[in-house]
Amino acid sequence: MVHPLPATMQAVSVREIGSFQFERRPVPQPGPGEVLLRVTVTGLCRTDLKIIQVGHRDLVLPCVPGEEVVGEVVALGPQVDATLLNQRCYVYPGEWCGICPACRSGAENLCRSMRIMGFHRDGGFADYVVAPLKSLIPLPEGLSDEQAVFAEPLSCCLNALELARLAPFETIAIWGGGPAGQLLARAASAYDALPTVIEPDPQRRELAKGVAEPPDQLFDVCVVAVGNNSAYQQALASLAPRGRLVVFSGLSKETPAITTDFNQLHYLEQTVVGAYGCCYRHGRQAISLLQSSKLAVNDLISHRMPLSRLAEALELVANRQCMKIHLYPESCRP
Ligand SMILES: [Zn+2]
């Protein structure tokens, strides 16, 4: 269905750290190799809260946040194939150079010239968003926009599990039962590994069928999905010989140091590996997993809200009173 394009749109704008405004602004024009998407749904994540409240290493102001985006292609820039018009797409949030050493090694998330939607360029907390053609992943029939928008947080989990070299039948402990922890556990199960989620909150723990405290057991893989120094200490102590610890959540800028017994790493041949963001291929893998019956996500959506209620939604994230919140532009009410 073709939607007539209005001249202006509603967008969330962060002009200085600590606040945001709703602004009426011209609908952006796609440049060469770009498309314009009408946003149908965006996911809200803890990073958005961080971006607005305290800033982020990769944030360039002013900016429209929103890096979890599904939409429909409604206009094409020069040199873009017209068959994409009206196509529903998930947008991989990165725009990478393709030629730097990181890109050539298959780690475009670490591209020297990386430009992330919602950080370096405008994101999806708006009626429309411009995205590079090469970042689009068309959605298959049968996969809803609501399911597909999980591709972004799920991709970050798939990157972490790839870096952990998680194999079938291995045990994996995940600290934190927020949306990322839940997705890490479900992705691990989809890969036939054996996840245990460690989460103090009873509701989150129940959803993950998790435990309140680390069990008296060693794990092949430990992933910390909560920005908590003591969780990292527990995870190091829970690593099996040849175990891999994934640094998935960052720590506060004030206290990022963890004491590590390097002799333990030495004698037990353990690995500590960082994970940040995701590559384009993880988006494809995520869409394929979401389309299969191996990874359900609908029960992770705790709130569906219009974008105009962003302040309230951010409160829910800040107070951990939600699981996944989906936001809808005015033009696309749930
Ligand atoms: Zn690059």
Over residues 298-333, the pLDDT tens digits come to 999 999 999 999 999 999 999 999 999 999 998 665
- Taking the centre of ligand 1 as the mean of its atom positions, its distance from the CA of residue 95, in whole angstroms, is 9
pLDDT tens digits, residue range 75-101?
999 989 889 999 999 999 999 999 999
Residue-level pLDDT at 330: 80
pLDDT confidence bin for 4, thresholds 50/70/90: confident
Residue environment code for 274-310, b if the CB has 16+ CB neighbours within 10 A, otherwise e: ebbbbbbebbbbbbebbbeeebebeeebebebebeeb
- Taking the centre of ligand 1 as the mean of its atom positions, its distance from the CA of residue 101, in whole angstroms, is 7
Question: Is 143 a residue whose pLDDT tops 70?
Answer: yes
Question: Is 199 a residue whose pLDDT tops 90?
Answer: yes
pLDDT confidence bin for 249, thresholds 50/70/90: very high
Residue-level pLDDT at 333: 55
Average pLDDT of span 10-18: 94
Residue-level pLDDT at 82: 86
Residue-level pLDDT at 334: 52
Angle (CA) 223 200 161, round 5°: 15
- Taking the centre of ligand 1 as the mean of its atom positions, its distance from the CA of residue 114, in whole angstroms, is 7
- Taking the centre of ligand 1 as the mean of its atom positions, its distance from the CA of residue 104, in whole angstroms, is 7
- Taking the centre of ligand 1 as the mean of its atom positions, its distance from the CA of residue 99, in whole angstroms, is 5
- Taking the centre of ligand 1 as the mean of its atom positions, its distance from the CA of residue 98, in whole angstroms, is 5
Domains of the chain and CATH, by start: 8-149+298-332 (3.90.180.10), 155-274 (3.40.50.720)
Average pLDDT, the chain: 95
- Taking the centre of ligand 1 as the mean of its atom positions, its distance from the CA of residue 259, in whole angstroms, is 33
- Alpha-carbon gap, residue 225 to 182, rounded angstroms: 10
pLDDT confidence bin for 2, thresholds 50/70/90: low
pLDDT tens digits, residue range 281-304?
999 999 999 999 899 999 999 999
pLDDT confidence bin for 3, thresholds 50/70/90: low
Residue-level pLDDT at 26: 96
- Taking the centre of ligand 1 as the mean of its atom positions, its distance from the CA of residue 155, in whole angstroms, is 19
- Taking the centre of ligand 1 as the mean of its atom positions, its distance from the CA of residue 227, in whole angstroms, is 28
- Taking the centre of ligand 1 as the mean of its atom positions, its distance from the CA of residue 134, in whole angstroms, is 14
Length reported for the chain = 334
- Taking the centre of ligand 1 as the mean of its atom positions, its distance from the CA of residue 102, in whole angstroms, is 6
Question: Cα-flanking dihedrals φ and ψ of residue 222, to 5°?
Answer: -125, 130
- CA 47 to chain CA centroid, Å, is 9
How many CB atoms are closer than 10 A to CB 194? 15
- Taking the centre of ligand 1 as the mean of its atom positions, its distance from the CA of residue 109, in whole angstroms, is 8
- Taking the centre of ligand 1 as the mean of its atom positions, its distance from the CA of residue 226, in whole angstroms, is 29
Strand 171-175 and strand 219-224: the pairing is parallel
Which percentage of the chain shows pLDDT scores above 70?
98
pLDDT tens digits, residue range 56-68?
888 889 999 999 9
Residue 299 Cα distances to 74, 183, 326, angstroms: 30, 11, 12
Give the 3-state DSSP-derived string for the chain, with helices as H, strands as E and coil as C: CCCCCCCEEEEEEECCCCCCEEEEEECCCCCCCEEEEEEEEEEECHHHHHHHHCCCCCCCCCECCCCCEEEEEEEECCCCCHHHCCCEEEECCEECCCCCHHHHCCCHHHCCCCEEECCCECCCCECEEEEEHHHEEECCCCCCHHHHCCHHHHHHHHHHHHHCCCCCCCEEEEECCCHHHHHHHHHHHHCCCEEEEECCCHHHHHHHCCECCCCCCCEEEEEECCCCHHHHHHHHHCEEEEEEEEECCCCCCCCCCCCCCHHHHHHHCCEEEECCCCCHHHHHHHHHHHHCCCCCCHHHEEEEEEHHHHHHHHHHHHCCCCCEEEEECHHHCC
- Taking the centre of ligand 1 as the mean of its atom positions, its distance from the CA of residue 223, in whole angstroms, is 27
- Taking the centre of ligand 1 as the mean of its atom positions, its distance from the CA of residue 116, in whole angstroms, is 12
- Alpha-carbon gap, residue 10 to 330, rounded angstroms: 8
- Taking the centre of ligand 1 as the mean of its atom positions, its distance from the CA of residue 34, in whole angstroms, is 18
- CA 30 to chain CA centroid, Å, is 24
- Taking the centre of ligand 1 as the mean of its atom positions, its distance from the CA of residue 122, in whole angstroms, is 20
- Alpha-carbon gap, residue 252 to 273, rounded angstroms: 18
